[in-house]
């Protein structure tokens, strides 16, 4: 399997290397299966009920993972933002359990894309899935990101 690590930022809740309260997730382009993949164990302090991840955290993971599918072509500057996100919660998503996440493109256009994603248990049971519409943000939004460009990169394993 050929995996290419995607960039992270420094302050993002999901991937930010310097966000002490974030999940510090990493994603990889799985070029063989044309998917974005990652693994996470959701800490207990993100529970909704004891032992069960809060639905908002589950939605956040799916939002980020599916949205990163637009980066499958290797153009890591090609960032979109979510316009619409639909989540289906199929089973409780446990905390403190290794989970697999996947995202993929359903349809890709110049200004928008339809993406999808899933979270699954080690045995393959899907706990939640999503469909989303992501769009190219307006120029005033992307202009405000310019100061962060040097921090949007692939970090070494021990680097913050």
Work out the mean pLDDT of the chain and round it to a whole number. Answer: 95
CB 62 within 8 A of CB 99: no
pLDDT at 1: 66
**Which pLDDT value is given to residue 159?**
74
Q: Rounded distance, CA 117 to CA 59, Å?
A: 10
Residue with tokens 């316009």: 83
Return the pLDDT at 25: 96
Provide the terminal-to-terminal Cα distance of the chain, rounded to the nearest Å: 27
User: Which H or E run contains 51?
Assistant: none
Query: 3-151: which CATH architecture?
Result: Roll (3.10)
pLDDT of the residue at 49: 97
């Amino acid at each position: 399997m050929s995996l290419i690590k995607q960039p992270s930022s420094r302050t993002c809740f999901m991937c930010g290397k310097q966000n002490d309260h974030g999940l510090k997730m990493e994603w990889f382009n799985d070029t063989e299966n044309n998917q974005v993949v990652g693994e996470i164990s959701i800490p207990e302090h993100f529970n909704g009920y004891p032992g069960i991840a809060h639905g908002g955290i589950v939605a956040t993971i799916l939002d980020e993972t599916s949205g990163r599918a637009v980066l499958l072509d290797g153009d890591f500057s090609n960032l979109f933002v979510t316009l619409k996100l639909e989540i289906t919660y199929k089973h409780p998503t446990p905390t403190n359990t290794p989970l697999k996440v996947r995202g993929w493109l359903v349809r890709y256009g110049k200004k928008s894309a339809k993406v999808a994603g899933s979270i699954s248990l080690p045995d393959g049971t899907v706990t939640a899935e999503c469909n989303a519409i992501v769009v190219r943000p307006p120029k005033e939004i992307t202009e405000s990101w310019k100061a962060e460009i040097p921090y949007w990169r692939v970090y070494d394993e021990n680097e913050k």
